[in-house]
Amino acid sequence: MAQLSDDCFAFGGPMMSVDEAVGLITTRVNAIVDLEAVALVDADGRVLARDVAAPLPLPPFTNSAVDGYALRNADLPESAARAFPLDGRIQAGGVAQAPIRPGHTARIFTGAPMPPDADTVFMQEDVRIDESGRIVLPPGLKRGANVRPAGEDIPQGHVALRAGQRLRPQHVALAAAFGLTGLEVVRRIRVAVFSTGDELASPGEPRSASQLFDSNRFMLMAMLRRLGCDVSDLGILRDERTSLANGLKQVAGHHDLILTTGGVSTGEEDHVKAAVESIGSLVLWRMAIKPGRPVAMGIIGGTPLIGLPGNPVASFVTFVHVVRPTVLALAGGLPEPLTPIPLRAAFTYRKKAGRREYVRASLRRAQDGALEAIKFPREGAGLLSSLVETDGLVELGEDITNVEPGQDVGFLSYAGLL
């Protein structure tokens, strides 16, 4: 399990910027070191545990990039077209029986190995076949044209996949191209998730008139699974210090991270803070971010705890900036900074300097073809519809105080966050 020191999340200032939060997590959270082997088909989304050097060059042999005609470039005429007699035929998966005779050309297909001595391929679209079946080749094709040399993609021995890489389908494809059947990855990060609040009922259970169904827990569990975590669903804990403390103590030893939602403001009915303090250490990170509320960062017996705010949108946004880097750091993953894509704002907005704000927005193609961000019309941090009906978040940096229609802003697509 993760073992972090009690002062792991200590922080001096009154307010913390998003960058400070991510920096602190990245430098102070130690990676777990347990590895496991997985078959390629199960490798997507996992964090690679060791560098992978290419055991063979890619492509493994020099081959034709097109369907066409192979020849020695030196045989090509300098100015006029010339007819070449055919000598040989090589299909993908086949081999040339002999070198091409001087002044001849061989029929070749995409992916077929180049015959010895041949160094150039004409695309079949660029040639003509004369009455006697000879191939008429125009002048001027460069040596090496339409040929894929062995190792042009990746030379043998090159470190092609780095430890810490979160594997995506293209990384799995590369491992398969090397002939590997599996990869060594970091074991899944185990996360215990629970909600707090007497006003919450679990879907499937009776709901009293003053209760709402717990939605955050399902959102957070889904987000964690997208990050490759093994999730334990611990349900809803009541707003009561002793039962919270007991619940937390029980799970701490068996998980790498505890994630809670709700109950971390400073109100007298917010008991998570007091419960964690009674069995471990806790600091409140007041982040200069909107939507957002203080995020509780605790350690219980070496296990980190993150307490997210209860409002669904605040919970979503703080997950992205605090939980996501923590999970990556625990898994020893390379940092994956979020990169907002510039596009055009189609809204007006005012904000305070010194705070980063995220505006829920949908994308629209404007009349001139440019991509525009349309702000969701309402702002409440409790509006789940604002997450459901938009495509992502416009990120307005600390320096910005004012957005006018037509201005360039940075956009983070939901698809790129997890």
- Report strand pairing: 341-345 vs 371-375: parallel
The number of angstroms, rounded, from the C-alpha of 86 to the middle of its chain's C-alpha atoms is: 50
Report residue 27: phi and psi, to 5°: -85, -25
CB of 290 to ligand AMP, least distance (A): 15
d(CA 196, CA 264): 9
Chosen residue from 88, 113, 247, 263 binding ligand AMP by CB under 6 A: 263
Residue of 333, 269, 273, 262 whose CA lies nearest to 297: 273
Binding-residue pattern over the window 259 to 278 for Mg ion, x denoting contact by CB under 5 A: ---xx---------------
String marking each residue 217-256 x if it binds ligand AMP according to CB under 6 A: x---------------------------------------
Q: Are strands 303-308 and 257-261 parallel, antiparallel or unpaired?
A: parallel
318, interface contact from ligand AMP, Mg ion, none, CB < 5-8 Å by kind: none
214 contacts ligand AMP (rule: CB under 6 A): yes
Three-state SS for 282?
strand
**What does 311 bind: ligand AMP, Mg ion, none (CB cut-off 5 to 8 Å by kind)?**
ligand AMP
> Distance (Å, rounded) from C-alpha 381 to C-alpha 148?
54
- Please report how close the Cβ of residue 292 comes to ligand AMP at its closest, in angstroms: 11
Residue placing its CB nearer to ligand AMP in the complex, 8 or 289: 289
Structural Rg of the chain based on CA atoms? 30
- Does residue 291 bind ligand AMP (CB under 6 A)? no
Tell me which stretch binds Mg ion (CB under 5 A): 159-167, 190-198, 332-340, 366-374.
190-198
What type of residue sits at position 40?
L
Q: Which stretch binds ligand AMP (CB under 6 A): 62-70, 103-111, 142-150, 303-311?
A: 303-311
Looking at the Cβ atoms of 265 and 326, the one nearer to ligand AMP is: 265
Task: Find the part of the chain contacting ligand AMP (CB under 6 A) among 125-133, 180-188, 214-222, 332-340.
Answer: 214-222
Number of helices (H), then strands (E), in the chain: 9, 29
The DSSP code for 48 is B
Helices (H), 305-374: 312-318, 324-330
Contacts of 66 (CB under 8 A, 6+ apart): 110, 121, 123, 124, 146
Q: Which stretch binds ligand AMP (CB under 6 A): 21-29, 243-251, 262-270, 362-370?
A: 262-270
Applying CB under 6 A, the residues found at the interface with ligand AMP are 195, 197, 199-200, 214-217, 261-263, 265, 309-312, 382
Applying CB under 5 A, the residues found at the interface with Mg ion are 197, 262-263
